[in-house]
């Protein structure tokens, strides 16, 4: 496929902007500090560097413009003639030629002034030579300003042109204005061409794409053509003539049989005969449009005779109705034409010379037909004739072909109800609907589980009552053994329940040093009593903190009860330190990485000694 980057051409600046861009870049990329006390060789090199850099920048910019714009002699003839119609070939070539000349003159100016700078004997003289060189270059660029402005207009217009491939499979629509060409392309493609009830609504080429036999086809809508000499045609009509002359396509010539377009059938036949040479070596179809307003049979004899003559010129191809039929017929004729062209070309012989088909050599003259068992032949004869199986390909051809027909993938779903196949909301998986996996008796089963749980709890309570009666009849030793057994069973049941519950659902906080609950208040009382200390106050405080209500714990400190004045701390300093550590532990992390009090601070971001004054010769990449 031929691709031209007409939409990616670099913007062409005006003459004044061109000069500003180049001089600004020279000022930024070259040293700016020079003194008359420097050696004369250093001064010469300083100014020669500026002149050479300016010339190199002009050369780069102009070379980019010249290379990116297409050369009319190197591109496809269709694009060459199209640009000639739209932009005038001579004016286009002249503008590019002026840029080439300007590029060459800039190089000559640079070479001459560099030669003069080699003999400069002072800073003043070298500076004046540099100023003269850059001034002549800028004057030269300002003189080609009109050419730069013209090329910018051409670039903007080319960026709006449609992407047309002259070598691909193409259907070209032509005819008088307002005969139904744009309506046809809107029907068979996704193009959105404006349709109005007056002539010359379409003023440029419009491109759409369609599918036929799994191939992509290009459809081009051309502006209307009037029947007058070629030199009298305007730019809009010449677009159609250019497309007909250079694009290898199936041509659809539209004829309005109703006459609502404002032109008689005789005028349309005259136009057909005048542009007939442009149809040579192309498949041609004559399409009769607007037959819903007037049928072909109701036309006068003279008009019908003219249409039949056009039909003979179009290889007996005349289409009256059916938009899809017109498209399919045109595509078939073009495919056949392209195949015939390839068969006649020399490439076919080259391919045949490289292909060798090996055929097995017979070993004798005896015939060996295929052997089919008699039982199989009898079964085939006895079986009733089967109707031919209709494939998706047959359905596709009957319903508009590729790109129009959409296969129904749900047609072979195996479901309990056929009406489920076209459901939108339920997803289909493995031939079943979501409804097939829903248990309709779920509420009934939940009620049964609730009743079963209730009965189990009642049975346990009855067993406990029976156990209490039997427990009283036992001896003390037996009662103690039974209590130990019940405690062990209860512990096992609780451990099993803890294992089943998840960590998130446990309301308890694990204790690090008392997993077995050995450190109790009773043990503390015994230990303090053995040491000779009264444990009543400590035990009362522990029980009040562990069993008291939250609202009671949050009461303010009573100064009369001075026992807990420091809340377990040795002194106020230790309490303040603990509070500070707790506050620091609860401080949120700096997730957004914002500037904090401990970060390094730069007071002056642009110190004057680094950003003031002229730069000297040497490295210039510090900024």
What is the per-residue DSSP string for 169-186? -EEEEEESTTSSHHHHHH
Higher pLDDT, 286 or 555: 286
Say how far apart CA 419 and CA 301 lie, in whole Å: 56
| Lowest-confidence region among 155-169, 319-333, 388-402 | 319-333
Q: What per-residue confidence (pLDDT) applies to 109? A: 95
pLDDT of residue 509: 44
Q: Where are the alpha helices (DSSP H) in 275-322?
A: 301-313
Output the CA torsion 505→507→512→516 (10° steps): -100
**Which whole number is the average pLDDT over 147-173?**
89
pLDDT score recorded for residue 557: 45
**How far is Cα of residue 263 from the mean position of the Cα atoms in its chain?**
47
Buried b (16+ CB within 10 A) or exposed e, 477-499: eeeeeeeeeeeeeeeeeeeeeee
The winner for highest mean pLDDT among 149-163, 429-443, 464-478 is: 149-163
Two tokens at 406? 């959409």
CA–CA dist 611, 623 (Å, integer)? 9
pLDDT surpasses 60 at 266 = yes
This prediction's pTM: 0.54
Mean pLDDT of 13-40: 91
Q: Which helix (H) or strand (E) holds 538?
A: helix 536-547
192-196, 277-281, 516-520: least confident range: 516-520
Residues 6+ apart with CB under 8 A from 243: 78, 172, 205, 220, 222
Structure tokens at 72: 């009319």
Structure token pair of residue 420: 């489920």
CA 424 vs. chain centroid, Å, equals 28
CA gap 206, 146 in Å, rounded: 31
Strand 206-212 with 215-221, pairing: antiparallel
* Count of other CB atoms within 10 angstroms of residue 283: 24
Segment (H or E) for 560:
none
Angle, to 10 degrees, between the axis of helix 265-274 and the axis of helix 301-313?
20
**288 forms bridges with which residues in the sheet?**
255
- Choice between 420 and 11, residue whose per-residue pLDDT is larger: 11
Identify the residue with better confidence: 386 or 316: 386
Percentage of residues of the chain with pLDDT beyond 70? 84
Q: Which residue has the higher pLDDT, 209 or 543?
A: 209
Lowest pLDDT segment from 182-196, 205-219, 333-347, 546-560: 546-560
Q: Provide the 3-class DSSP secondary structure of residue 73.
A: coil
Residue 560 has pLDDT above 60, yes or no: no
Q: How many percent of the chain have pLDDT more than 90?
A: 20
Of 93-97, 228-232, 253-257, 370-374, the range with the lowest mean pLDDT is 228-232
Strands 318-319 and 215-221: unpaired
- pLDDT band per the 50, 70, 90 thresholds, residue 161: confident
Average pLDDT over residues 174-190: 86
544 pLDDT above the threshold of 90: no
Residues β-bridged to residue 554: none
- 415-440 exposure pattern, b = at least 16 Cβ within 10 A, e = fewer: beeeebeeeeeeeeeeebbeeeeeee
- Classify residue 253 as exposed, middle or buried by CB count within 10 Å of its CB (0-12, 13-18, 19+): buried
The confidence band for 561, taking pLDDT boundaries of 50, 70 and 90, is very low
Q: How confident is the model at residue 290 (pLDDT cuts 50, 70, 90)?
A: confident
**Among 233, 254, 247, which Cα is nearest to 176's?**
254
- CB-CB contact of 620 with 33 (8 Å): no
Backbone dihedral angles phi then psi of residue 317, each to the nearest 5 degrees: -115, 110
Handedness of CA 502, 506, 509, 511 (dihedral sign): negative
| The token pair that represents 384 in the structure block | 């009733």
Neighbours of 246 (CB within 10 A): 17
Query: 553 vs 485, which has greater pLDDT?
Result: 485
Beta bridge mates, 254: 175, 287
Every domain of the chain and the residues it spans = 15-160, 170-345
Helix intervals (H) in 69-144? 77-87, 89-117, 123-143
Give pLDDT, residue 4.
67
In CATH, the number for domain 15-160 is: 1.20.120.1190
Please indicate whether residue 213 or residue 502 has the higher confidence score (pLDDT): 213
CB-count burial class (<10 Å; 0-12, 13-18, 19+) for 237: buried
pLDDT beyond 60 at 572: yes
Radius of gyration of the chain (CA): 49
Segment 111-124 mean pLDDT? 93
Instruction: Please say if the pLDDT value at position 301 is more than 50.
Output: yes
Tell me which CATH code domain 170-345 carries: 3.40.50.300
Taking the C-alpha atoms of residue 48 and residue 50, their distance in angstroms, rounded to an integer, is 5
**Both structure tokens of 527:** 């230990």
CB 257 within 8 A of CB 288: yes
pLDDT per position as a tens digit, 78-91: 888 888 888 888 89
- Using a 10 angstrom Cβ sphere, with 0-12 exposed, 13-18 middle and 19 or more buried, the burial of residue 534 is exposed
Which string of b and e fits 76-89 if b means at least 16 CB within 10 Å? bebbbbbbbbbbee
Task: With a cut of 70, say whether residue 463 has pLDDT above it.
Answer: no
pLDDT of residue 542: 73
Q: Given the structure tokens 């409804």, which residue do they identify?
A: 435
181 contacts 175 by C-beta, under 8 angstroms: yes
Determine how many CB atoms are found less than 10 A away from the CB of residue 623: 7
Task: Return d(Cα 237, Cα 85) in angstroms, integer.
Answer: 10
| Residue 256: closest CA among 219, 291, 308, 221 | 291
Q: How many CB atoms lie within 10 A of CB 569?
A: 14
- DSSP secondary structure of 580-618: HHHHHHTPPP-TT----TTS---S-SS-HHHHSS---SS
DSSP summary character for residue 275: T
Beta bridge partners of 207: 220
Residue 277, both tokens: 């040479």
Q: What number is the average pLDDT over the span 471-488? A: 82
Lowest model confidence (mean pLDDT) among 162-176, 477-491, 506-520: 506-520
Average pLDDT over residues 298-318: 68
As a whole number of angstroms, the distance between CA 147 and CA 385 comes to 80
**Is residue 1 very low, low, confident or very high in pLDDT (cuts 50, 70, 90)?**
very low
d(CA 120, CA 128): 10
Query: Residue 136 above 90 pLDDT?
Result: yes
Least confident piece of the model among 101-105, 107-111, 259-263, 461-465: 461-465
pLDDT confidence band for 237 (50 / 70 / 90) = confident
């Amino acid at each position: 496929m031929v691709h031209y980057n007409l939409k990616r051409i670099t913007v062409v600046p005006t003459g004044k902007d061109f000069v500003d861009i180049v001089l600004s870049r020279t000022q930024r990329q070259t040293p700016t500090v020079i003194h008359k006390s420097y050696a004369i060789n250093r001064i010469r090199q300083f100014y020669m560097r500026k002149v050479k850099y300016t010339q190199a920048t002009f050369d780069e910019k102009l070379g980019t413009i010249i290379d990116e714009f297409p050369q009319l002699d190197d591109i496809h003839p269709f694009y060459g003639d199209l640009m000639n119609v739209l932009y005038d070939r001579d004016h286009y070539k002249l503008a590019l030629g002026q840029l080439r000349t300007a590029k060459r003159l800039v190089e000559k100016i640079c070479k001459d002034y560099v030669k003069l700078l080699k003999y400069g004997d002072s800073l003043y003289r070298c500076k004046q030579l540099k100023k003269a060189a850059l001034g002549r270059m800028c004057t030269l660029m300002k003189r080609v300003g009109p050419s730069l402005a013209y090329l910018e207009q051409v670039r903007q217009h080319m960026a709006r042109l449609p992407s047309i491939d002259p070598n691909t499979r193409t259907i070209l629509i032509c005819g008088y204005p307002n005969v139904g060409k744009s309506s046809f392309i809107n029907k068979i493609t996704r193009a959105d061409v404006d349709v109005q009830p007056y002539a010359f609504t379409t003023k440029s080429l419009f491109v759409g794409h369609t599918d036929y036999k799994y191939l992509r086809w290009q459809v081009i809508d051309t502006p209307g053509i009037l029947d007058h000499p070629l030199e009298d045609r305007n730019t809009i009509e010449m677009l159609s003539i250019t497309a007909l002359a250079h694009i290898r396509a199936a041509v659809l010539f539209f004829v309005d049989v109703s006459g609502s377009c404002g032109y008689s059938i005789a005028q349309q036949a005259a136009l057909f005969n005048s542009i007939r040479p442009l149809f040579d070596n192309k498949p041609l179809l004559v399409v009769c449009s607007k037959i819903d307003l007037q049928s072909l049979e109701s036309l006068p004899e003279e008009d019908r005779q003219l249409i039949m003559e056009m039909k003979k010129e179009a290889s007996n191809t005349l289409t009256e109705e059916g938009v899809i039929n017109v498209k399919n017929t045109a595509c078939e004729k073009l495919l056949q034409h392209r195949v015939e062209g390839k068969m006649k070309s020399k490439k076919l012989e080259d391919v045949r010379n490289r292909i060798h088909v090996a055929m097995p050599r017979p070993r004798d003259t005896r015939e060996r037909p295929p052997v089919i068992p008699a039982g199989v032949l009898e079964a085939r004869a006895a079986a009733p004739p089967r109707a031919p199986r209709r494939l998706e390909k047959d359905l596709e051809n009957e319903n508009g072909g590729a790109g129009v027909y959409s296969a129904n993938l749900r047609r072979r779903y195996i479901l309990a109800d056929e009406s489920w196949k076209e459901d939108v909301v339920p997803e289909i998986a493995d031939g079943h609907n979501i409804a097939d996996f829903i248990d309709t008796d779920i509420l009934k089963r939940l009620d049964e589980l609730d009743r079963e749980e209730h009965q189990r709890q009642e049975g346990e309570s009855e067993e406990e009552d029976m156990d209490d009666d039997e427990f009283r009849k036992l001896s003390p030793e037996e009662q103690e053994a039974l209590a130990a057994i019940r405690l062990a069973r209860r512990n096992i049941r609780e451990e099993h329940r803890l294992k089943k519950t998840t960590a998130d659902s446990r309301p308890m906080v694990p204790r690090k040093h008392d997993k077995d609950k050995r450190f109790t208040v009773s043990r503390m009382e015994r230990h303090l009593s053995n040491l000779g200390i009264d444990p009543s106050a400590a035990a009362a405080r522990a029980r009040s903190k562990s069993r008291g209500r939250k609202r009671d714990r949050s009461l303010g400190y009573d100064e009369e009860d001075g026992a807990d004045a420091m809340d377990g701390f040795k002194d106020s300093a230790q309490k303040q330190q603990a509070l500070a550590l707790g506050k620091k532990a609860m401080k949120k992390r700096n997730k957004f990485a914002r500037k904090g009090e401990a970060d390094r601070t730069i007071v002056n971001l642009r110190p004057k000694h680094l950003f003031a004054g002229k730069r000297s010769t040497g490295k210039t990449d510090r900024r």
